[in-house]
Amino acid sequence: MAIRAIKGINDILPDVVGKWQLVESVARRIFSKFGYQEIRIPILEKTELFSRSIGESTDIVEKEMYTFPDRNGQLLTLRPEATASVVRAFIQHKLHLQPAMRKFYTMGPMFRHERPQKGRYRQFHQINVEVFAMDDPMVDAEVIYMLLVFLEELKIPRIKLHLNSMGCPDCRLPFRQSLADYLEGVRDKLCSDCQRRRLSNPLRIFDCKVDSCGKLVDKAPVLLNHLCRECEKNFQSVKDHLDSLAVAYTIDPFMVRGLDYYNRTTFEAITPLLGAQDAVGGGGRYDGLMKMLGGPDLPATGFAIGMERLILLLDDKAGALKDSNRLFVACLGEEAKKKGFPLVQQLRLSGLTVEMDYESKSLKAQMRRADKLEATHVLILGDDELAKGVATMRNMEASTQEEIPLEGLVEQLLRRLQ
């Protein structure tokens, strides 16, 4: 039996690659205007990096990581997200000593062993943005604004911004107690995972996808109502800055983001068009992570966008071939092929997009292929033409034809097609 790709791990075929390239190029263009630099980080890291950053009792670490010992017995993990790696790289290369390096973006594959469905895969791609050493609420607002500018530039329809605050350790501690008290009262109705989390990490109960837990969570106390004064002031300031940029948002106290490292403002860009997988992107502040991973005590914020979800939302025509001319050279006979082959290379070097037939097919078959390749022009080189010292050029869109002398052919083609 032929070998197939692994479930939930997909090929990206040439007919959609145009959309991926469009998304990548818009990200690069917009993010660099906002002062971000690209960083490229490894796909494989020590398991500890993720279990410590994302949190031992999160779904990602408990159930979804691709973890295995390498040949030396070291435990490695295919990255389930990029934030931890960007922080690790920042610490490892002492980038805090280089003031020009504060804002980063990175793109690439991530791996989570989730149940595959539309918009949810086991290998998926993210565009990540991370900002370090800036804790002004203006930066939170600007990061969110940049995410929305990016989605708008791609004309992604019906995006709603959800906002929450995860507070700080000072307000989380007393809140944890009131949540634990509430959960104690309903403990028998919790699923087995939440029974466990109730004691180890009660906040993670908000991530539970089991229906019965969802109903209990709806009535649970929320952190947003327990913020300390400083966190409340900070959240208000983020909202004020968003207002100054005319950004609309919905406050969503139940959004806890599935990863343990967040504090203060968190956010998601949601769409009703993707069914259950409604988050196109999400992120927030994670001021404690750098120190927790052994680095300097520097604040941070950022987000990640799911590229597959973006591609599903893009207009059908987005990323389609540009309107530039594409030439197909049809050679009929051995002599013509010998002349056509170097000519094709010369035209490509001169800047034209050129394809040819290598298999000595009939003119009809070659014209069919030219049509499939959406060639705008076909140059026909046959024995008759060679004898006359000309080539025939057919304009596929206008359905017109003309003869061009072989002498000075390249210049003539460049004049017409460039």
The answer to whether the CB of 309 falls within 8 A of the CB of 135 is no
Residue placing its CB nearer to ligand HAM in the complex, 252 or 308: 308
Q: Give percent helix, percent strand, percent coil of the chain, each to the nearest 5.
A: 45, 20, 35
Residue in 202, 306, 319, 340 binding ligand HAM, rule: CB under 6 A? 306
Find all residues with CB under 8 Å of 15, minimum gap 6, and list them: none
Q: Residue of minimal CB distance from ligand HAM?
A: 306
Question: How far is 193 from 206, CA to CA, in rounded Å?
Answer: 12
Q: Binding of ligand HAM at residue 308 (CB under 6 A)?
A: yes
Rule CB under 6 A: which of 39-98 touch ligand HAM?
81, 83
Residue placing its CB nearer to ligand HAM in the complex, 112 or 172: 112
410 burial via Cβ count (<10 Å: 0-12, 13-18, 19+): middle
Whole-number minimum distance, CB 379 to ligand HAM, in Å?
A: 45
Strand pairing category for 263-270 and 75-78: unpaired
| Exposure string over 235-256, b if 16+ CB within 10 A, otherwise e | bebbbebbeeeebebeebbebb
Torsion of CA 164, 169, 171, 177, to 10 degrees: 110
Whole-number minimum distance, CB 270 to ligand HAM, in Å?
A: 9
Whole-number minimum distance, CB 301 to ligand HAM, in Å?
A: 7
Residue placing its CB nearer to ligand HAM in the complex, 112 or 197: 112
Question: How far is 41 from 86, CA to CA, in rounded Å?
Answer: 7
Residue placing its CB nearer to ligand HAM in the complex, 126 or 366: 126
Residue in 106, 128, 234, 265 binding ligand HAM, rule: CB under 6 A? 128
Rule CB under 6 A: which of 206-265 touch ligand HAM?
258
Question: How far is 397 from 384, CA to CA, in rounded Å?
Answer: 25
Whole-number minimum distance, CB 274 to ligand HAM, in Å?
A: 9
Residue in 31, 90, 104, 124 binding ligand HAM, rule: CB under 6 A? 124
Give the number of other Cβ atoms within 10 Å of residue 353's Cβ: 17
Question: How far is 88 from 86, CA to CA, in rounded Å?
Answer: 5
Q: Near ligand HAM by CB under 6 A, which window of 19-27, 100-108, 277-285, 369-377?
A: 277-285
Torsion of CA 229, 234, 239, 240, to 10 degrees: 100
Q: What's the distance, Cα to Cα, between the start and end of the chain in Å?
A: 48
Which residue matches tokens 């990548």? 24
Strand order in the sheet with 44-46: 44-46, 75-78, 66-69
Q: Could you tell me how many residues of this chain bind ligand HAM (CB under 6 A)? A: 25
Q: Binding of ligand HAM at residue 120 (CB under 6 A)?
A: yes
Q: Binding of ligand HAM at residue 279 (CB under 6 A)?
A: yes
Whole-number minimum distance, CB 334 to ligand HAM, in Å?
A: 52
Q: Binding of ligand HAM at residue 114 (CB under 6 A)?
A: yes
Strand partners, 162: 250, 268
Residue in 104, 105, 121, 235 binding ligand HAM, rule: CB under 6 A? 121
Q: Near ligand HAM by CB under 6 A, which window of 100-108, 178-186, 200-208, 275-283?
A: 275-283
Strand, coil or helix: 230: helix
Q: Binding of ligand HAM at residue 299 (CB under 6 A)?
A: no
Question: How far is 99 from 327, CA to CA, in rounded Å?
Answer: 49
Residue placing its CB nearer to ligand HAM in the complex, 137 or 284: 284
Residue placing its CB nearer to ligand HAM in the complex, 60 or 352: 60
Residue placing its CB nearer to ligand HAM in the complex, 18 or 258: 258
List Cα–Cα distances, 52 to 60, 145, 259, in angstroms.
12, 30, 11
Whole-number minimum distance, CB 123 to ligand HAM, in Å?
A: 8
Whole-number minimum distance, CB 249 to ligand HAM, in Å?
A: 16
Letter for the amino acid at 98? Q
Q: Near ligand HAM by CB under 6 A, which window of 11-19, 32-40, 228-236, 301-309?
A: 301-309
Question: How far is 79 from 67, CA to CA, in rounded Å?
Answer: 9
Which residues would be at the binding site for ligand HAM (CB under 6 A)? Answer: 81, 83, 112, 114, 119-121, 124, 126, 128, 130, 258, 279-284, 286, 302-304, 306, 308-309
